[in-house]
Structure 1
Amino acid sequence: MTPRSKKLINAPEAIIPEFIEGYVAAHAALLAVEGPTGRAIVARHGPRDGKVGIVIGGGSGHEPAFAGYVGRGLADAAAVGNVFASPSPAQILDAGRAADGGAGVLLLYGNYTGDVLNFTMAAEELGAEGTPVRQVAVTDDIASAPAERRAERRGVAGDFFVFKIAGAAADLGEPLPRVEALARRANDNCRSMGVALGPCSLPQTGTPNFRIGDTEMEIGMGIHGEPGMYRAPLASADAVTDDLMQKILAELSLSAGDRVAVLVNGLGATTQLELFLLFRRLRQILDGLGVTIHASWVGEYATALEMAGASITLLRLDDELARLLDHPCRSPALTVGVEAPPPTTRRTARRSIRREDTAAADAAALQAGGRITPALFVAMMRAVAAEIRQERNWLSQLDGVIGDGDHGVTMDIGWSAVLPELDRLEPEALIGAVSERIGQTFLAAVGASSGPLYAGAFRQAGRAVQDRLNLDGAALAAWITGISDGILARGGASPGDKTMIDAWLPAAEAASAAAAAGADEIGVLTAARDAAEAGMRRTAGIESRRGRSAKLGARSLGHIDPGAASAFVSLRAMARNLVRTAAAEPAAP
């Protein structure tokens, strides 16, 4: 039996609100919480009229990133996601509106599928409100893709330098295009490599999200526990530093007279003693090349809960980047130079905008034929929530092998948020409106990649049956096809990429074929369930081409995709509930 880790927490589902409450209280002179989601941490002396707003964000568990870099001269606001999961668009919108001083907003985040989806959706909404918005996804991690595919790389500790450069440029009054350009220049000149010695564990599961031998290390490990480039025997501090630096230097092409900024970053459970050994050897290497260290930081700046390991980040400097790096700032995690007095310019309060539910359809114009009534549909959705909760650990274990180990937790968070929304439904709520409500709730609660994907899925499914009161076999097939189409439209994955679409697309095709052959609701749903299970099992033989596991190549073979697994679990739960309900119905006279 796998031992559970010990953590000082209360209820796992309350960990982020309680963290925010404690963090802001501890830094009350610097920070405040704004917006209805309660997930936007804002600098008290940051946002102001006429200044470009800097918004950062990402999943929790990386402290002091991201809230630690909110302050004067740095970020104006951070959107705080769940553990290892992107903040939702609503949370990012709260941060963006708080940071908006009328000169536009720059969104900065790591290049992960969930962050890209959620920040892009938030940017679209901010833009629709009239706020100029630019985005930069940080791509500093050498291990996650080769140089010729650098745009696919993930953002790790290099966030630290990109945030610092952008924050300084905005504080100095640079316009939005210049702030964006400087952030991109910092990103282009930044490289990171990491090593992991031991796993971390999510608060909700308490189990290690990957396994590594007592005498092994993983080179290139990501900050969510994603597998790295390769596994090797544990080596000395100097040997590890040599390996990491060799890969960084091969890309930065430094020569005598160049200047760099250096970050030696602990991943959560690595001692200062070890980190300074790495810096010692790094300094020897750079001295040997005639490269000057302009500034350096050693400590925990972008962690992965309690993961054992470290990363090295180098930022190649020019005169302008060096000046911006030296510009004063003050935040809970970073203070540089002598802080300027608080700004005296006015800050105009920004308004929050709530999206309203879609208008109710005319019930008299709806098609009423079919066994699945709105009440039965809601019961089927409750069954999905219960089965996802039951399979949460299995789904997270699947994800831990090829991803960051949180898929089951994330799906459970989403469905747990849906349940009280189902309780609040109006008695006359139609299946289309229920689907829309589920999509909105999932998006607000989850973030990550699953939030936008399932939001799009349920919205599309709801539209596909908006003319229905009840669902018959054909309408149920249209609803399942809507789920698949919504995921395809938002996520961009294709069949064979080893994603949830490898279960949802065959499910939709099988449901449509069964409906065309005259199958009833049970026949359609059973066909969809069986096709999803077959698709899920096929993913074990597919190399991943999307998301965090894409860089694993052949190492992803033999492992079921967790998104495909949760698709099968959802359809299985719906089918079980429908069959059980049908069996309980009185026989026709």
Structure 2
Amino acid sequence: MTKTKKLINAPEDIIPQLISGMVAAHPDMLTREGGTGRAIVAVDGPRDGKVGVVVGGGSGHEPAFAGYVGRGLADAAAVGNIFASPSPEQILDAARAADGGAGVVFLYGNYTGDVMNFTMAAEELEASGTQVRQVQVADDVASAPKERRAERRGIAGDFFVFKIAGAAADLGEPLARVEALAQKANDATLSMGVALGACSLPQTGKPNFEIGDDEMEIGMGLHGEPGVRREKLAPADTVTDELMDTILSEMAPAKGDRVAVLVNGLGSTSLVELYIIFDRLKHILDERGIEIHHSWVGEYATSLEMAGASITLMKLDDELTRLLDHPCRTPALTVGAIEGAAASSARSARRTAQAGDTPAKAKVAANLKREGIITPEIFRAMMQRAGDEIIAERDWLSELDGVIGDGDHGVTMEIGWKAVQGALANAEEDETIEGSCKRMAKAFLDAVGASSGPLYATAFLRAGAAVSDRLNLDAEALAAWLAAALQGVRDRGRAEPGDKTMIDAWVPAVERAQQAAANGSELDVVNAARDGAEAGMKATADLESRRGRSAKLGARSKGHIDPGAASTWVTLRAMAAALAEARATS
């Protein structure tokens, strides 16, 4: 496979340098706040008494999301890793910076990782007394039928939803009204795209999917998720006709209606091509007697260097038109003229960034159960080994994900497990297994975000709580640890066996572990879990995905192993190997 080229330094420095560069390039509009370093805030946006508008998502879509931070639009953006949701702590930094005492609205694309992480952040904010509302942008007509619109993913429609919500908040609308207007914009906005070529993740330098020189993918997702079908490359007018026909069939605008239009490039599509698409688009609308109130052509929601484009239409009424025309000033979008735009000195104390608490030191208590060969030291060695093997299998896991997802699973898992390894290296010798699990949960969640962050963090927390009465783990306690981890993933992700997720590896792993625990040793338990996970992982190849981004593929997801199930197997395989080595040397 051809290696790609990028003008970067070290892959691990991409996001800090991206943020530093954005803030340095636009010091009159942007600043950075909070302990995570991932919250980009409008210099003259947040103010007391105004609803805070917080947007966010994975990097790689620039200028989305931070490019829409500024007066009259978003007050702050939480910046995730490449194609991965920001973590709850990163979102909290953005929310605290945006909070002027009138509540906060979260706006983000309808992806599993974003939903999980923003919801966890919302729960924490609400527990501290801040009102929070959420709107998930779901504009992609190719990703689900109209009757299942809530399942649709967000693509370039973010552009219009953010604009409407930002204007409403800037005009002083209350929280419920800002939420309602954002949802109204969401309901009025439809998009569809086409991809001609793949992008590549900076960490791998490889295209995240393969497509023939004479092929195109109709309905491609913003992260490289396959579309509804692959066809031979067609002329621009033919492609535009197909995208517009799908959008207009559902939108059903009448003669005399008004729309706003966005023709969006995905990263490496020339303006020549985008204007050719717009030329045909305008001809179609003119023939139908539909007025274009305002149009934008360019790169507004990209996918690294993916080749392709998307078309977005928002059907307007007087209310949406007024909000669309309301002035804003951000790095990526300026509408009208901002009057009296100046940095507000009256920042609310509620926005003071609060560093996340470090895991509480868990001292060994005299009454903890000590049966079993898995001491806290051996447990941490098992987790360190899991990190080593996940990192070693990074490219394989990303390749699996590239077929049915966005190609970043291995990279995301590497980031999370490296954070876990670093956190465990700082653990004191007398830290209990429960304490180490809390440490691992915080490290993974803070480092990753995405869907993996909340899933693994919840798994670690539940597993640690299940053995909180123990110093060491015996066979039954190890099986209980595994069972609690599984339940945490199920509760957080709402997936069930047969959905083609990590659950399909976890369930047989836990079942076999519990059977082995009845009469076996600790090593028997983890070996049984490893073998169950492997069988479950292989079985996912025959399943049709029903959860996550790959659910949009339908039957096209068959024949491919689920990457989450694969990383589950790698983790349990590593734990078994580490325990075997510990027994051999004891």
Please give the range of the TM-score, normalised by the shorter of the 2 chains. Answer: over 0.9
- Paired position in structure 1 for 2:581: 580
Describe the SS at the equivalent of 2:366. Answer: helix
- Paired position in structure 2 for 1:446: 448
User: Do structure 1's residue 546 and structure 2's residue 547 form an aligned pair?
Assistant: yes
Describe the SS at the equivalent of 2:470. Answer: coil
Structure 1-normalised TM-score? 0.98
- Paired position in structure 1 for 2:202: 203
Aligned equivalents of 1:334, 1:340: Cα separation in 2: 16
| Contact 1:49/1:345 (<8 A) preserved | no
Per-residue CA distance 1:8-43 (angstroms, 9 max, x = gap): 111111110111011110111110000000000000
| Consecutive unaligned residues in structure 2, runs of 5 or more | none
Aligned equivalents of 2:196, 2:358: Cα separation in 1: 48
Aligned equivalents of 1:435, 1:359: Cα separation in 2: 12
Aligned equivalents of 1:385, 1:572: Cα separation in 2: 11
- Paired position in structure 2 for 1:23: 22
| Contact 1:112/1:547 (<8 A) preserved | yes
Q: CA deviation at 1:352?
A: 3.0
User: Do structure 1's residue 493 and structure 2's residue 495 form an aligned pair?
Assistant: yes
- Paired position in structure 1 for 2:348: 348
Describe the SS at the equivalent of 2:445. Answer: helix
| Contact 2:361/2:431 (<8 A) preserved | no
Aligned equivalents of 2:379, 2:95: Cα separation in 1: 36
- Paired position in structure 2 for 1:399: 401
Describe the SS at the equivalent of 1:323. Answer: helix
Aligned residues: 583
Per-residue CA distance 1:312-345 (angstroms, 9 max, x = gap): 0000000010010000000000000012212568
Describe the SS at the equivalent of 1:369. Answer: coil
Q: CA deviation at 1:362?
A: 4.9
Which runs of at least 4 in structure 1 moved beyond 6 Å after TM superposition?
none
Aligned equivalents of 1:370, 1:445: Cα separation in 2: 32
Describe the SS at the equivalent of 1:371. Answer: coil
Question: RMSD value over aligned CA atoms?
Answer: 0.9
| Contact 2:363/2:431 (<8 A) preserved | no
- Paired position in structure 2 for 1:436: 438
Indicate which of 378, 383, 387 corresponds to 1:381.
383
Aligned equivalents of 2:10, 2:374: Cα separation in 1: 36
Aligned equivalents of 1:256, 1:416: Cα separation in 2: 57
Per-residue CA distance 1:492-523 (angstroms, 9 max, x = gap): 0001000001111111111111102x110110
Describe the SS at the equivalent of 2:357. Answer: coil
User: Do structure 1's residue 459 and structure 2's residue 461 form an aligned pair?
Assistant: yes
Aligned equivalents of 2:357, 2:388: Cα separation in 1: 28
- Counterpart of 1:151, as a letter, is A
Q: CA deviation at 1:346?
A: 2.6
- Paired position in structure 2 for 1:569: 570
Q: CA deviation at 1:355?
A: 3.2
Aligned equivalents of 2:412, 2:132: Cα separation in 1: 28
User: Do structure 1's residue 521 and structure 2's residue 508 form an aligned pair?
Assistant: no
- Paired position in structure 2 for 1:262: 261
Describe the SS at the equivalent of 1:405. Answer: coil
Aligned equivalents of 1:552, 1:352: Cα separation in 2: 41
Per-residue CA distance 1:347-372 (angstroms, 9 max, x = gap): 22323333352462552010111111
Aligned equivalents of 2:531, 2:559: Cα separation in 1: 20
- Paired position in structure 1 for 2:234: 235
User: Do structure 1's residue 43 and structure 2's residue 42 form an aligned pair?
Assistant: yes
Aligned equivalents of 1:159, 1:554: Cα separation in 2: 28
Aligned equivalents of 1:203, 1:429: Cα separation in 2: 37
Describe the SS at the equivalent of 2:264. Answer: strand
| Contact 2:97/2:353 (<8 A) preserved | no
Aligned equivalents of 1:549, 1:94: Cα separation in 2: 30
Aligned equivalents of 2:18, 2:98: Cα separation in 1: 22
Aligned equivalents of 2:221, 2:548: Cα separation in 1: 13
| Consecutive unaligned residues in structure 1, runs of 5 or more | none
Aligned equivalents of 2:287, 2:346: Cα separation in 1: 51
| Contact 1:369/1:472 (<8 A) preserved | yes
Structure 2-normalised TM-score? 0.98
- Counterpart of 2:573, as a letter, is R
User: How do 1:282-321 residues align onto structure 2 when only pairs under 5 Å count?
Assistant: 282-321=281-320
User: Do structure 1's residue 177 and structure 2's residue 176 form an aligned pair?
Assistant: yes
Describe the SS at the equivalent of 2:142. Answer: helix
Aligned equivalents of 1:359, 1:490: Cα separation in 2: 26
Aligned equivalents of 2:178, 2:417: Cα separation in 1: 39
| Contact 1:194/1:310 (<8 A) preserved | yes
Aligned equivalents of 2:360, 2:481: Cα separation in 1: 18
